[in-house]
Amino acid sequence: MDIVSYMFSKSIFVGIVVGILSLYAISRQKSDLHTLLLTDLVECAMLVIIAAIGTDLAEALILPGLVVGLAEFLAVSEILVYRNEMRKSNLSNNKKLRLFEEFLAKEEVYVNSVNFNKMEIIYSAPKFIGFILVLYGAFLTGFTGGAIMASGLLFYLLSQGAIGNGVSLKDIKHSWEAISGFSGIMWAFWILLGFAGFFLFPEHYLFFLLIAGCALALKVGSKLGLIGSLRIRS
């Protein structure tokens, strides 16, 4: 029996005993630095166990084991150094520690610096939604289309009011007059041109139906849109 085989079980035994003794010592330690040093001793015991095999392959395994162990040792010691620095700076601040302090502490307020009015979507979304609704209402025509167009206008105006971007009183007067005038003209188109045209020229019914439908849509849309500008005025 060669020397390696003879020493194998004894070396393994020594390695494990060293490891267990180091664990016991770690459990008795109060200082973090001593804990770290004793942990390195456990890694040395690991190297003893690998070295006990005593072949070429074991020799090749010791080096990566050692490197990994050292890397972990360096990382942990760096963490320990940093934590101790941080603890020292915390102590030098002379903070008074109280029970449930983290629930009572008044921290620095960051939230006031966040400006929620700067959100892009508040400005871009109402225009888009209003535009889509007006387009869809124009496509539908008739009373339903008018209602949908009106809801688009209403939504746009109300959202402008909500942003605080309301138009001035003079503008509202202008637009009020314009919209009501437009509504009256469309009423005339609907009743006088479209409806009367049905009875006067029944052979061109499609033409007059289209006029009546579009005029009705525009009339209802503009009429209900007035409610939005009313709301802004109040």
Partner 1 sequence: MSLNIDSIAGAFYGYVPFGDIVFYFTEFSLIGFIIALFFTLVVYLTKPEKQLESQIGDFGDKLNYVSLEELKIRRLMAIICGICTAFAMLTGDLFDYALFLAVIGIANMGIVSAVKKEGVLSAAFYYGIIAMISTLPLFGASALILAKTGTLSILELAKNSHDLLFQKIIYAVGMVGETGIAPFYAAKAEMFRAPGAPYILMIHLSSLLIIVRTVEIMLNIH
String of contacts with partner 1 for each residue 82-121, x by CB under 8 A: xx--xx--x---------------xxxxxx--x-------
Q: Which residues of 4-35 are buried (b: 16+ CB within 10 A; e: fewer)?
A: eeeeeeebeeebeebbeebeebbeeeeeeeeb
Report the interhelical angle of 205-233 vs 169-188 (nearest 10°). 160
Q: In the bound complex, what is the minimum distance in angstroms from residue 124's beta carbon to partner 1?
A: 22
Q: What is the 3-state secondary structure (H, E, C) of 42-54?
A: HHHHHHHHHHCCC
Task: Looking at residues 3 to 22 of the shown chain, list those that interact with partner 1 (rule: CB under 8 A).
Answer: 8, 12, 15-16, 19
Among 42, 153, 154, 186, binds partner 1 (CB under 8 A): 42
DSSP 195: I
Q: Given the complex with partner 1, which of 109 and 206 has the nearer CB atom? A: 109
58 binds partner 1 (CB under 8 A): yes
Spatial CA neighbour of 162 closest among 114, 212, 117: 117
Classify residue 2 by burial, with Cβ atoms within 10 Å: 0-12, 13-18, 19+. exposed
Which residues within the stretch 169-198 sit at the binding site for partner 1 (CB under 8 A)?
A: none
Residues at the site binding partner 1, with contacts judged by CB under 8 A: 8, 12, 15-16, 19, 23, 26, 32, 35-36, 39-40, 42-43, 45-46, 49-50, 52-53, 55, 57-58, 61, 64-65, 68-69, 71-73, 75-76, 79-80, 82-83, 86-87, 90, 106-111, 114
